Each structure stands twice: as C-alpha cells, then as structure tokens.
Structure 1
C-alpha cells in the first residue's frame, strides 16, 4: 500500500493519497481545489487516481471533490448521512452517497465508513484496512474534522456561518456520542486528521501531524470528560469567531463552484479597488497608501484576509510580483479568483506612516481589537472593544480627528486595523507597540 499526507500550511489542512500497489488504483481523501500535486505524486508512483472521497462539507477551504471528478473521471464518495437540506447538492452524476458501515474498495485497500457527526451533521470518517498487505485489522482512521491531535472539531459553525439556530449544543452532544463510539476501536490505530495547529476548525489543535487513538485517549481532553454535560460545556466555550469567508466556503462546498484555473496577476489598472498590502508589518508601518489594509503574506494570511473579502468584488494587492502571485494562488484555495491587479510598493503614493509607541494608561481614546476571550481575560478600563474582523461593519465611537490608540495582543491585528480605520476616516492613528501583552502590570 502507498500512503502520503499532503499538508498545506496556509490552510493548516491535510489531504491524503492512498494507493493499492498491486492494482495501481489510488484514492484522494479530502482534496483541495488544486489537484495537481495528487496527480504528480500518483504518476511518479505508477498509480492512477480512480477514487476520491470527502469526510464532510468543509467550511475553511474550497473543496476539490468536484474538480477531481470532472478532470479525472473518478468514482466520488461523499456522505449521505445527516440532514438532507444541509447535505451535498449539485454533485456529479454517479456520485456515491455513503453511510455508516459502507465499504469503499480501492484495489485491495478497504475504507469502512463510520458516521461521526458533531462538527457537521453529515461528518464521516474512514477506517482503513490494508487487505492487500495481508491485514484483517484496521491500520488507521481518516478522521476529517471529527478528531484532531489534542482536540475535536468545533460544533458551532452551522449556527455561526449558516445561521442554523440553536444547533451548537445539539452538535456538541452528537460529538460526545461520536467520541464514545470511537473508543471501541483498537488503541493502535493511527489518527490521520484533516487539520493541524493554526486551523480555526478547533480551539487547541496540536502541531504534530498524526497520532494514535491510544495516545489521544490518554492526552486529548475530549476523552477525559466525565459526562456529556461537562463535555458540551467545554466544547462550546471560548470557540474563536470564524472568519467571514467560512460562510462562503460552506456555500461553495455544498452547492459547487467554478473549477480551479490558475491565472497570472498583472499590474493594476484600476487603483480605486479595495487594496490589501501583503508586505510585512514593518514595511507597511514605514509607509503605505491611505486606506490600504495590511495582511502580511504568511501562514496566517488566509485566516486574516478572510474577514474582509467580498466574493463579488475584485481586489488589488500591494507587494513584489512573486509574493503577489503566491498570495493570489492561495486565495484561490478558498475559492476567491478576483485578484485583478498588483501594485509595486515603489509605484504607490506612500503618504501614510503608522506611528507606534508604548502606552502610559492615561490615553483617552483606546480601541482594543482583540477577540472576546482575550478581552474577558483583561483589558484597559477606558478601552472600547471591537474585534478587528468586525471593524468595517461597526461604528467606531471616537472623533476621527483626535488621536486614536489601537492595540491587539501582539501588534498583528492592530496593524490590520490601521488601514480599516483610515478607510473609516480616522486621521491620527497610533499603533500600540507589541500590543496588550507588553503593557506594564502597573498600567
């Protein structure tokens, strides 16, 4: 049997290629929109991708399940469990909707379907048995967003992204039952999750890419909860706000999207478009065009820019050519194909410099752009709290002509907030250096 994990650091997402070396057949589990890597590896190993399967309708990236069906003419397997109204729509002809205890055969490799709801109503996992290798016992579990290293999938995305009222607690209870069911599997099976650290699909995902069920039973908090009520409270408390693009991902992955097609970004013709500056924070602070929003192109790029994308409106990017091309490609992985142009920093009219300084604690106008849980753990008495992802749609209750001190926890989100506040008309913005974490205890 051939096995390979593909990990995308921008999405904090894992997908998998499994092949039967005797028959030359292969399956892709949870493909992303760009399927070229899977094809390249399969061909190098002498395999043909004949199957593709998905664990659930994803909320954080654009699925490649329809792309792979159309471009490779493979057998596609998706969940037939859960609420039909929330399930897959517009799937390719011949799609197989699998349910609990169904088997998927890829040559001499068998994937047994296990229904594991909680993260989503239709969530399934795949238990792999390598019969071609002479085994009659399972090797591992493709757990999707049900079970992570050190955590389990969040249960609140239906309510927060699809507006299914009062669904969070019910989903948490289903997650508890899924955990109880999975306990019956052997401790030695490997856990192959859909995400790693940095993903907003859970609140405490581990950075190690794989685990074993026995290890998770000992170390994962979800297996330690003494009862359903305790588990539900823990799982539903302090889940981070999902970026706005999650709602778009749910729609795209449930109903379908345009097929992936890479493109080149050329110099911007219309500089009036919403513009994101993908340079480093220090470069942006040194000078930028008024109203451009700084989202550095790093591993947190998607989780930050996802708050501000309008999927009906094209954008420009500021940065060097290669970084802009890379950023545009990564945006395609969340289904956004509307980077219209790029602007080189030297071609910009650099008129705004971010003034950064420490805070004394006596400042009159202070804006805290951290999330709710950070705010609840401590904040400046005079501060007004508006999470950075909600700034564009929220009235900021300060005089636009007066100095405004803005901070987050470490300086990243407050840097983003600068451009947003400029767009709202603020003229004297001071970014608090290094954020709340470095504000003195005496303050």
Structure 2
C-alpha cells in the first residue's frame, strides 16, 4: 500500500489497539499494537522489564506475536530477546547499518531481519519499514496502517529519530561507544533522513521513543505524541535548510553521554542477560559494617541529598531516588560489584529501586536497609559523618579552597565561580578520586 497520497475515507469499525508504556526512570516510551480481529499484538522497543507487556496483552485478550526495535538502544537494556523467549513471538530486527553496528543474532534468537522498504503484518495492521539513519546507523521507523479502517498510514513509530520538538542526537556512537569519526557523518545522515520526511503527509501522528528528560536529545518535549505537520512547523531541526548549519547546530551543546551508554550499546547489540529473578534481603547495621569494612559491596544511600548531608554512614555514596536515579546509578556504579541500598519505604520501595537499577544493567543488588539503620549504626558505637552545604557566595569568599565543579559543561559555560575553580566531568572525577577509595 502506498504511504503517500489522499487517504480513503476512514471506517468506524477499526480494530487496532494502541497502548503506550512510559518509564519515568528512563523517560522512555514503548508501545503495544494489537489487532483485535486476530488477537495478535506487536511490542515496539520493550525494556528489560517485560512483564507489563505480557499483562497488558493478556488483559485485552491478545497474544504477543511480534517484537521489534527501532534501533540498538544506548540508554537501557533491551527486553526484546527476553520477551520473545517468554512468548514465542517473532523477533524482527534491523539489518541496516555497517557490519560493526548490526545486531549479533544467534540461532536461538530466531530473528528476522528488516530492511528499508520491507513490511510485515499483525492481523490487519500493516507496518511499513523505513531506514532513517542519523541517531544510529541502523535506525528504523515504522509507519502503521490499520487495514480494518483505512488504506493509508495513520502514524509512525519514530523511535529516537524524531521527538517532540527535537531529534535524536547523532554523536552517541562516537562519544559513548568510542567509534571515532562517526559523529559528523551521522549528523549528515540525520539531515538527509529529515529531508525524506518532507515526502510524507502532515496528518501522520508521531509516537516517539523518549520524552522530556532523556539524554538521547537536547530539549525533548513532554507531550506523549505529536504530528509530522506540527514538527515541520515548530521542531528546530526541520527549520535548518542548510546542511552545514544543521550539522553545527545538532552537534553543539550536547551533554556528556552517561558513562553506561557504551556498555548498553554492546549488550543490546550482542544480547544481554535476562533480568534477575531473586529479590535482595533486608540487612542490618552489622551487615553494612562488614560490607564496608571488607570493601565487598557498594552501599548506596538513596535519600535526598539534603537528608544525606545531615548524617550518613562513612563510606556510603548518595544517589537520590527520583527521575534521574537510574541514569546516575548506571554512570557511577560498577555492574561487577555487589550493591546494598539504604532507603525509605521498606521492601516495596526496594523492589521499585531494584527494578530501576536493572533497567541499566546494575543487577547485583544483594540487600537493602531501612533508613533507621543509621540508628543501628550508632548503637554499634560508630559515628555518622555530615557534609556542610555552602551557597555560591560563601564558596566565592573562601580564600584557600580549590573549587571542583562537576556540573555539565553547558552549566559551566553558562556561569561559574571564576577564581580557584576547576571543571572536571563528574564521571572522570568519580573514576579518578572516588570510586576506588
């Protein structure tokens, strides 16, 4: 069926179901597309936590028969292969891109490869495949047509190609996966891909793979979807007619990729391990003391930074639970070390945080302790440490102190304490001065 032209009048007997799954921890969206005539369903870009897709499909009387991805993800561990193992679905993956960054597919994966111009069907729902490189070399998008209601597509699953108000950053292959010399070429490929999108009708809905807060773009909007026409009017990337200016603009001001992105790219290309099934146990202050004394585990305090500063167990580190918890944990924690959590909210909260850590490959959470473990620590005859918070003016007035500024480069560029101030990327500072102490 053609993708362009005047659509036929829509019928009111549509049988397509669309469900969006949005993970606040990653600002990531995945989708379930169901065909009610055949009870089949497709899942696009699943995370490692695959049970929500199975539960949602079952609640609608659907069987997950197809699983696909728009590209090899960098910001979370894919659940595509695991979902296929649990459901027996067909796995459809991109065959585009160069040989170094194509999926490594084993015989057990039973994967089918997709190329530009291919199509596949889920019941009466048709998915047309287009190769749109730029964010990654192998990136695909999927135009979806509900054959029970129309003969033209109603929208496109754009993955990390087009976001609300932004586009996927083209520098990750070089800056996160260390494939040198790819950044500018990827930016030019992204420019050409955007030009191709001018051929498609403005009414198309766009369902992106990320929302506001994702590190896969610079300034993503928070709306769950958009239209191609709206993005042509207001998305900055569509306004840049000159290729050279587009390349400069899209590469300028990109934040440092989180350190774990490179590892995610490799695991998602080659196939990562299944999500852990065992739950961590509650531990007491004596167990924490042993772990810290032996250096056998990282103790991660997940309270707010303000609460942590008022009193914490020496040797623990603080990453507050919240929107960026998984991103910071993936960047700063070693996946090869055991982790014990300090948290508020008991076992239920521990399950939430363990899940978020698992999304970025931090699997070795062996225990958790409620915040009252600090009282138990003192009962062992041990003391807590504190950190004094200083405002910018107080820091500026310090005479003999060197200020280590670990904010993002764009924050440093926007304003800093000029005297005795030194900028070091937080990941580099962590590797050099903190992680091994």
Q: Same fold (TM over 0.5)?
A: yes
The correspondence for 2:230, drawn from 211, 215, 228, is 215
Whether 1:246 aligns to 2:284 is no
Partner residue, 1:293:
317
Cα offsets for 1:312-347 (capped at 9, x unmatched): 111111113233331111111122210111233322
Whole-Å separation in 1 of the counterparts to 2:191 and 2:163? 14
Alignment of 1:86-235 (within 5 A): 86-91=101-106, 92-133=108-149, 135-235=150-250
Deviating more after overlay: 310-319 vs 6-15:
310-319
Whole-Å separation in 1 of the counterparts to 2:390 and 2:250? 38
Alignment of 1:11-410 (within 5 A): 11-91=26-106, 92-133=108-149, 135-268=150-283, 269=287, 270-272=290-292, 273-320=297-344, 321=346, 322-348=348-374, 349=377, 351-358=384-391, 359-360=393-394, 361-363=396-398, 364-365=400-401, 366-382=403-419, 383-394=421-432
Query: How far did 1:260 drift?
Result: 2.1
How many residues align? The count is 398
Residues 103 and 110 in structure 1, CA contact (< 8 A), matched pair in contact too: yes
Residues 55 and 124 in structure 1, CA contact (< 8 A), matched pair in contact too: yes
User: SS at 1:297's partner residue?
Assistant: coil
Whole-Å separation in 1 of the counterparts to 2:49 and 2:369? 26
CA distance 1:316–1:93, change in 2 (3 Å): closer
Deviating more after overlay: 18-27 vs 348-357:
348-357
Q: Which runs of 4+ in 1 moved over 3 A?
A: 90-93
Residues 278 and 324 in structure 1, CA contact (< 8 A), matched pair in contact too: no
Deviating more after overlay: 269-278 vs 168-177:
269-278
Whole-Å separation in 1 of the counterparts to 2:389 and 2:360? 33
Query: How far did 1:376 drift?
Result: 1.5
Structure 1 unaligned runs (5+)? 396-419, 425-443
The structure showing larger relative contact order (alpha-carbon pairs under 8 Å, at least 6 residues apart) is 2
Query: How far did 1:369 drift?
Result: 1.4
Structure 2 unaligned runs (5+)? 1-15, 378-382
Higher helix share: 2
Query: How far did 1:25 drift?
Result: 0.8
Partner residue, 2:7:
none
Partner residue, 1:431:
none
Query: How far did 1:124 drift?
Result: 0.4
TM-score (norm 1): 0.87
Whole-Å separation in 2 of the counterparts to 1:211 and 1:287? 46
Cα offsets for 1:49-101 (capped at 9, x unmatched): 10011000000001011001111111111100011221111344431110001
